[in-house]
Amino acid sequence: MKSKKWIFAATIVILGLISLLYVGYKTNNVRFGMIRDDLPTLVSGDYKNNDNLSLKPGVYAIYAKKGKGEICFAGKLYKLDDALFVRAQKQPGNVKNAVIYEESPKIFIGEDSKISVKGDRKFLVSFVKR
């Protein structure tokens, strides 16, 4: 009799956890999958995709690896500094990339997108993609 109660309780708990994970995944509160961080690093200058920049079309998070400056993309100006990158480096493993992705501005890079990078001498910008 006790084993039936135990199996019933365990089944309820497991179904509850599965339901929570499913709801979290569907509402984008829980994310699964690796984040690509092996993407190019840019210095100050003007870039055009498929010309002097090679990225597949998609949504990218853009962040400052070093220094302070601004990015002009699609008529919008993004001011970036390396505080987020420094804070994320204190995280273990792939968590640092998740922190960067979640807290950085997202941009959609198409076939011929143009990006303008301006900043101090040490300003380096990079991307992460989910």
Domain boundaries, the chain: 1-30, 41-128
For residue 72, the Cα-to-chain-centroid distance in whole angstroms is: 19
d(CA 120, CA 114): 20
Q: Give the model's confidence band at 28: pLDDT under 50 very low, under 70 low, under 90 confident, else very high.
A: low
Tokens of 129: 């993609």
- The CATH architecture one would assign to domain 41-128 is Sandwich (2.60)
* Residues 40-58: b if buried by 16+ CB within 10 A, e if exposed: eebebeebebeeebebeee
Confirm if 100 and 85 have CB atoms less than 8 A apart.
yes
Query: What pTM was estimated for this model as a whole?
Result: 0.70
What digits encode the pLDDT tens for the residues 48-69? 988 888 888 988 889 999 999 9
Res 14 pLDDT > 70: yes
